[in-house]
Amino acid sequence: MKNFKFPQVLFLVMLFIIGCSSNDDDSTQIADRGEIVATIDGDTFAASGNSVGASLQSGVLNITASNTGADTISISINNFIGEGTFDLSGFTVEGTGIYLPAGDNRFFNTENEGGEGSITITSYTESSGLISGTFEFVAVRSNSSGANEIVTITSGSFNDISVTNS
């Protein structure tokens, strides 16, 4: 029997480790045209048609969507001028992420302590008024006992949402 040398064994071990590791995270959602999709604390969120909108007024871009259950996601970008990545963390001047669950008065946003996130505008054409991009954020609220409640929104995307200019 032939003896293996250390470099050969190391190579085989590394090959095994690389070959066996995988990223089974298929959570990236791609929105259809005119749709906003995301995952909210592990649950799928999807909105389209009249439940999706975007407006640009005095340099502030607002993107809002409500699903059939009336949960709402809203993202604002201040001083919007086009494509790029914008910070939604804390009290930034760049933007804010908000989540409003249906049926109650709870209000989660990224401006509260522990809130963070970002939105990336991948495409914006002023002439057509269409915008596309991705987002994720952690929104926080203090409940009546003073404890923080957290909502995590991941894998968010929107595709060819019509922007109304005011």
pLDDT digits (tens, 9 = 90+) for 62-117: 999 999 999 999 999 999 999 999 999 987 779 999 999 998 889 999 999 999 99
Q: Are 96 and 126 in contact (CB under 8 A)?
A: no
Residue 125 lies in a domain: yes
Q: Which two tokens stand for residue 102?
A: 């249906």
Phi, psi of 4 (to 5 degrees): -80, 145
In a domain, 20, yes or no: no
Domain that holds residue 140: 27-165
Asked, for residue 45, whether it belongs to a domain, the answer is yes
Residue 63: CA atoms inside 13 Å, Cβ hemisphere, count?
31
8: in domain:
no
15 in a domain, yes or no? no
| 71 in a structural domain | yes
What mean pLDDT comes out for the span 48-52?
94
Q: What is the pLDDT of residues 130-156, one digit of tens each?
A: 999 999 999 999 888 889 999 999 999
Dihedral sign for Cα 88, 90, 95, 98, please: positive
pTM of the model: 0.80
Number of domains in the chain: 1
Residues near 39 by Cβ (< 8 Å), separated by ≥ 6? 27, 29, 45, 153, 154, 155, 156
